[in-house]
Amino acid sequence: MGDGRRTTRLKGLGVTLVLAVLLACGLGLAGCSGSTSSAGDAAEDLGLVTPGKLSVVSDLANPPFDYIEEGTTNPAGFEVELMQALAQKLGLECEFLPAQKFDSIIPMIKQGGKADVGASNFTITDERLEEIDFTDAYIDSNQGVVTSAALAGPVEADYSSALDQAGATVAVQAGTTGEAWARENLPNANVVALDDPIAALTGVQSGRYQAVVADLPVMQYEVLNSYTQLKVALQVPTGEQYGIVVSKDNPRLTAALDEALAEARADGTLDALEQKWFGSSEGSSATAATTQGDATAGSSSANAADAGSVAVEKATARPNESGGSGVIGGMNTRLTWEGTVHVAAGVSSVTLTLPEGSTFDGSSTRVTVLDGLDRVSVDATAKPSGTSLEVDFATPIPDGSLLRLEVTDMQFPAAGGDYSVGGSYATAGGATGSLADSPSISIIKNTPVQAVVNWLDGQAWVGAWNSVPFLNMFFKPQLLVTSFVSLFQGWLVCLALVVVAYPFAILLGLAFALMKISKHRVLRAIAIVYINILRGTPLFLQIYIMFFGLPMLGINIDNNVLGVIVIAINSSAYQAEIFRAGIQSIPQGQYEASASLGMTDMQTMLWIILPQTVRRVIPTITSDFITSYKDTSLLSSVGVMELMMFSKNLTTVSGNITPYIAAAVYYLIVTLPLTKAVGVVERRLYDAEHGAGPRPKEPGEATGEKASEAPAGGAPEPRASMVESLVAPFRSHVRTDGGVADAL
């Protein structure tokens, strides 16, 4: 009995424990369910393109930040894992969309509907903030200049003397701060904007470009792992910061990502990712500094020996000419001034001064302090007043630091001219010193095109038009005006390329068409291989092989000339098939008739077959000309300054699609009339073949004689006259050895 009661008691206890566990699990599940629901509700409030998913767009071409893992289609890299971690903290699934060109990502986010955020080494800038929002910065970075090993020394010593020359070509990634830096600091060089930094590095390695400017961590990674023959010749301390791109229409998502970033920074997630991908928690800044070698001016002490000096490194202005590269006076622009502090006590304030007619009023100042390549956090207060700008620092700028002042919305004199930036500074010890004048900045007067743009800016209807997102993105009036003017030069280059290339394409195509129908097997084999390879591979690939392969063989050809060659060769393969089909469409009876006249095969082809062939293939050749004309746009991928390259540059600067619309109009100016001409020719050929065209004149009609009058010998002989008219042109070309020709 006792054992039975004990057993019963144990069973009861077991049941109680089971019920308790089940109850706890139920409460836990309820809690988890409530949490998930809450997270889901929060996700729904973020205005995502796809509920429950954070859709990310990137160009996936910037290792180690973001790239496609070799042998797979999976994205990988620091930013990829960062976005996955942030999505997880938000209770979302992270989805990377197919790779997009870098310059198209900001317009895609701004327009909305396809992606929630953009993450692809986007530097936070004032210009971009006008179009979209950024999250808080997640990493600091700088720019790197990569050259061949032979050019690395001169670039490191003085990059201006080595690269800022008319004959130098510097490659950049379109729409990046590297492009902005190159255009502002290397105004005399030919700056070529490409789709990704890999193409730029390939061009430098092949010898087509002298240098590439791009994000320093990307350049260091590629030089170490892939482009080992190149060298990071210069590390440019720009002190830029990367942020995640978010639409201005979705501030809740920006705030949520900022919270997730703060959490990732606090719990060590961000440090762990930096350690994994960069080898230290300092990220891209963990490298030794190599400062710019263009310090052309020093400073002089004014009051005391402890004033030290501030060496003026440079002063540049961002181009503000709509659709151009000039700096126009009397219009807002951005002044970038740099100086290296050589003051033991540090610098407590800096005052910049400009000539009369300039103004700092209404400007905003961004202060960047770099210790080597590492960013130093400094609070500052800017006080603009007419032609001077005083910047006070809460803590002194330490000795050896690089101080950069970026003054946005300031103006140079409207009259134009060459102007230098001067000024003074004060040390933490109370001493003062003067700043030497910077290298001069060239300012131009206002242009007629800019005057039209300024007028449009003040029109109420333009403001109403631009308030519609679609119209603002694709048909912005101000950009249409500047685009038509700026693209004109590229349009002429585009036309010249195809007009010069096409005669060569026709001759090559005709030659290979004749080879393909030749009786000789070797000629046929050569033609078949040539035609099939060129028609079976993308023109884009052929362009890359020619532009980057030939320099590796020691063959260096001007970009425009090489563009003509590529277009001519590619088009010739299609021309060959067009001519072959045209030749084979001529009835066999004409060959036999020519042979009966004693004509050789060459004479038959030259005087009988080809004239008819050319007449038949004119519509098809014209259509192929239109295709080749549009295909010149692919040359922009290797830096040929044609129509699409100009429009791409404008698009990356403006963050707007309107320049591409202007380019489309230029293409239509040529293609629409040619399309109409093709239709007219085809209709006339059809009418002629079906007897609907104008009838040939009878003999004597042209001279006024009656065609119906019979010759003296009797009735008229129209058939004999027709035969005579056909044979007469060939009498001088046929054999006269007693054959059929003599009888005729």
Coil vs helix vs strand at 51: coil
User: Rounded mean pLDDT of 300-311?
Assistant: 65
| Tokens read off for 15 | 């049941």
Closest CA to 161 of 129, 185, 126: 185
E-state strands within 119-261: 133-134, 139-148, 169-173, 190-194, 211-215, 230-242, 245-246
Mean pLDDT is highest, among 110-114, 501-505, 712-716, for: 501-505
DSSP 555-603: ----HHHHHHHHHHHHHHHHHHHHHHHHHHTS-HHHHHHHHHTT--HHH
Give the relative orientation of helices 610-631 and 658-689 as an angle to the nearest 10 degrees. 170
pLDDT score at 42: 52
Neighbours of 615 (CB within 10 A): 13
- Judged against a pLDDT cut of 80, whether residue 714 lies above it is answered with no
| Tokens read off for 197 | 């930094």
- Judged against a pLDDT cut of 60, whether residue 648 lies above it is answered with yes
Rounded CA-CA distance 312/299 in Å is 7
Confidence of residue 703 (pLDDT cuts 50, 70, 90): low
Mean pLDDT is highest, among 70-74, 452-456, 550-554, 691-695, for: 452-456
Rounded CA-CA distance 318/313 in Å is 17
Coil vs helix vs strand at 41: helix
Strand order in the sheet with 333-342: 309-317, 333-342, 402-410, 364-371, 374-376
Strands 364-371 and 422-427 turn out to be: unpaired
Angle CA 175–179–183, to nearest 5:
130
User: Rounded mean pLDDT of 9-20?
Assistant: 42
User: Rounded mean pLDDT of 615-634?
Assistant: 91
The pTM (predicted TM-score) of the whole model is 0.69
Mean pLDDT is highest, among 59-63, 181-185, 505-509, for: 505-509
Rounded CA-CA distance 532/419 in Å is 60
- Residue pair 203/212 in contact (Cβ under 8 Å)? The answer is yes
Closest CA to 294 of 169, 181, 171: 181
Confidence of residue 661 (pLDDT cuts 50, 70, 90): very high
Residue 508, Cα to own-chain centre: how many angstroms? 32
How many residues are recorded in the chain?
744
Coil vs helix vs strand at 318: coil
φ and ψ of 486, to 5 deg:
-70, -35
pLDDT score at 280: 60
Confidence of residue 464 (pLDDT cuts 50, 70, 90): very high
User: Rounded mean pLDDT of 558-583?
Assistant: 94
User: Rounded mean pLDDT of 4-32?
Assistant: 41
| Tokens read off for 162 | 């080595």
- How far apart, in Å, are the Cα atoms of 531 and each of 470, 547, 579, 627? 44, 20, 12, 17
| Tokens read off for 613 | 């062939």
Confidence of residue 281 (pLDDT cuts 50, 70, 90): low
- How far apart, in Å, are the Cα atoms of 692 and each of 508, 641, 676, 685? 35, 48, 20, 10
- Residue pair 125/137 in contact (Cβ under 8 Å)? The answer is no
The amino acid occupying position 247 is: S
- Judged against a pLDDT cut of 50, whether residue 671 lies above it is answered with yes
- Judged against a pLDDT cut of 90, whether residue 480 lies above it is answered with yes
- Judged against a pLDDT cut of 60, whether residue 429 lies above it is answered with yes
Confidence of residue 744 (pLDDT cuts 50, 70, 90): very low
User: Rounded mean pLDDT of 614-620?
Assistant: 88
Confidence of residue 126 (pLDDT cuts 50, 70, 90): confident
Instruction: Pick 434 or 711 by higher pLDDT.
Output: 434
- Judged against a pLDDT cut of 90, whether residue 55 lies above it is answered with yes
Give the relative orientation of helices 197-206 and 216-225 as an angle to the nearest 10 degrees. 50
Instruction: Pick 516 or 731 by higher pLDDT.
Output: 516
- Judged against a pLDDT cut of 90, whether residue 239 lies above it is answered with no
pLDDT score at 102: 86
pLDDT in tens, 67-97: 998 878 899 999 999 999 999 999 999 999 9
- Residue pair 330/446 in contact (Cβ under 8 Å)? The answer is yes
Lowest mean pLDDT among 21-35, 222-236, 720-734: 21-35
pLDDT score at 699: 59
| Tokens read off for 39 | 């997270």
E-state strands within 179-255: 190-194, 211-215, 230-242, 245-246
Closest CA to 638 of 271, 202, 238, 342: 202
Q: Is the dihedral of CA 707, 710, 713, 715 positive or negative?
A: positive
- Judged against a pLDDT cut of 60, whether residue 17 lies above it is answered with no
- Is residue 309 within a helix (H) or strand (E), and if so which, with residue range? strand 309-317
DSSP 414-438: TT-EEE--EEEEEETTS-EEEEPPP
Question: b vs e for 709-728, b when ≥16 Cβ sit within 10 Å of the residue's Cβ?
Answer: eeeeeeeeeeeeeeeeeeee
Mean pLDDT for all residues in the chain:
83
Residue 691, Cα to own-chain centre: how many angstroms? 53
pLDDT score at 28: 41
- Residue pair 309/299 in contact (Cβ under 8 Å)? The answer is yes
Neighbours of 599 (CB within 10 A): 21
- Is residue 688 within a helix (H) or strand (E), and if so which, with residue range? helix 658-689
Q: 374 has which bridge partners? A: 371
- How far apart, in Å, are the Cα atoms of 204 and each of 41, 60, 197, 424, 570? 51, 21, 11, 41, 25
| Tokens read off for 131 | 């179009």
* CA gyration radius, the chain: 36
pLDDT score at 2: 45
Lowest mean pLDDT among 272-281, 408-417, 439-448: 272-281
- How far apart, in Å, are the Cα atoms of 236 and each of 181, 214, 219, 660? 9, 10, 12, 32
DSSP 509-553: HHHHHHHHT-S-HHHHHHHHHHHHHHHHS-HHHHHHIIIIIHHHT
* Max Cα–Cα distance, the chain, nearest Å: 153
Strand order in the sheet with 299-301: 299-301, 432-435, 422-427, 347-353, 388-397, 380-385
Rounded CA-CA distance 305/309 in Å is 10
User: Rounded mean pLDDT of 380-395?
Assistant: 95
pLDDT score at 700: 58
Q: 234 has which bridge partners? A: 145
Strands 417-419 and 441-443 turn out to be: antiparallel
Angle CA 212–218–221, to nearest 5:
110
Lowest mean pLDDT among 280-289, 314-323, 450-459, 593-602: 280-289
Rounded CA-CA distance 224/144 in Å is 13
- Residue pair 645/193 in contact (Cβ under 8 Å)? The answer is yes
- Judged against a pLDDT cut of 80, whether residue 302 lies above it is answered with no
